[in-house]
Amino acid sequence: MKVEENTVHLRMLDPVYKNLYVGEEGLKSVHFLGCPLASAIACMLAKASGKMVTIQKVNVSVDGQIIEVRYRMVES
């Protein structure tokens, strides 16, 4: 995790939920609803910082081994 002013970059290696992205089931909901772990981390960042947090971008490697997430912390 790297923090730069109001932006947080997170890189997850071999994430627990990788099968949601590359599983044989062909699940599509994760692409609409988002990664549960990335959302939980957004909640944690909001609680710790006292700021609103938005998920700006999620990149998933083809094999699902790396998920990169960019969060933005918004002053209220």
pLDDT in tens, the chain (76 residues): 999 989 999 999 988 777 777 765 666 666 677 778 889 999 999 999 999 999 999 888 888 789 899 999 998 7
Our count of domains for the chain comes to 1
pLDDT at 13: 93
Start-end of H helices in 15-62: 18-22, 29-33, 36-49
Radius of gyration of the chain (CA): 13
pLDDT at 64: 79
DSSP conformation class of 24 = T
pLDDT at 27: 62
Which residue segment(s) compose the domain that 40 sits in? 2-74
Q: pTM of the prediction?
A: 0.82
Torsion-angle region of residue 30: left (phi > 0), alpha (psi -120 to 50) or beta?
alpha
pLDDT at 16: 79
Of 11, 19, 73, the closest CA to residue 44 belongs to 73
